[in-house]
Amino acid sequence: MTNILNHQSNDYVKLLLLGDAKSGKTGSLVSLVRAGYLLRILDMDNLLDILKFLVAEQCPERANNVEFRTLRDKYKATPNGPVIDGQPKAFITATRMIDNWSYNDGTMEINLGKPAEWGPDCILVIDSLSRLCDAAFDWREPLTPRGKSGDYDQRATYGDAQDAVEKLLAYITSAYFETNVIVMCHGLYMDLPDGTRKIFPQGVGQKLSPKIPQYFPTYIRYKNLGGKRTIQTVSDGVIDLANPRPSVMDKFYPVETGLADVFAVLRDPPAAQPKLRRV
């Protein structure tokens, strides 16, 4: 018999982080860098500027503990508007990185092995799920069968892209993925059948959005509270959040230190770690 107190959540945090644009999500990662975690960021937004400057100001000695790879499909201008230049690669490259974090950055080979084996002192960060979903749609669209006129059923593209993103979320939040995970997302207001209106993570179309929180034991929101950026850990009338330790975790934390505070409630602090290795 497996004792419930030995559940794998003792070691790994799987956290969904929702917030409006410019609510402080990316910059708040600096508190985890200060706490000694190794961060490996799938940068789909290309908005790590704030984290770069905060690490330089607050903990420059830990700068090598933050590894990132920026993934965005290249566009080109045409008479019909911007289109992807060549085959869309951002989504499939992201999934390959989640399987094996290995690539050439133009100056050297980076090989950090399998994220599923990184262990409890590392954090895989997807920043953000919103852009990852866009990339999934762009990846699937050219593969959708077309008729003689070139027309296609866009519902098929949405459906296949949703399935791909949902399977990825299922994998990184599973017990087999032995690494902490933070997935950042933007919010989307949706009208529910009972007449209420609630916020869900932005997905590929609206069918995926209500499913996304189901995969995460910890679900928090960034919001402006009284003119101050704040991390909210308790549900309210417009959003259902998830807090696995409500008797211990505060209802609100400041953005500047809150992520490290949440991690400190959910698991032991990281051990002393070597710098990221580049081979």
Q: Does some domain include residue 279?
A: no
Q: Does some domain include residue 79?
A: yes
Buried b or exposed e, range 202-225, using 16+ CB within 10 angstroms:
bbbbeebbebbbebbbbbbbbbee
Q: Please report, for the domain that includes residue 44, its CATH number.
A: 3.40.50
| Domain of residue 189, residue span | 4-266
Q: Does some domain include residue 224?
A: yes
Q: Does some domain include residue 272?
A: no
Q: Does some domain include residue 260?
A: yes
H helices within 35-128, ranges in order? 49-58, 90-99
pTM for the full predicted model: 0.93
pLDDT by residue, tens only, the chain of 279 residues: 678 777 766 789 999 999 988 899 999 999 999 999 999 999 999 999 999 999 999 999 999 999 999 999 999 999 989 899 999 999 999 999 999 999 998 899 999 999 999 999 999 999 999 999 999 999 999 887 776 666 777 888 999 999 999 999 999 999 999 999 999 999 999 999 999 999 999 999 889 999 999 999 999 999 988 889 999 999 999 999 999 999 999 999 999 999 999 999 999 999 865 444 443
Q: Does some domain include residue 16?
A: yes
Q: How many CA atoms lie within 13 A of 195 on its CB side?
A: 0
Q: Does some domain include residue 271?
A: no
Q: Does some domain include residue 276?
A: no
Q: How many CB atoms lie within 10 A of CB 189?
A: 10
Q: How many CB atoms lie within 10 A of CB 65?
A: 22
Which amino acid, one-letter code, is at 201?
A: P
Our count of domains for the chain comes to 1
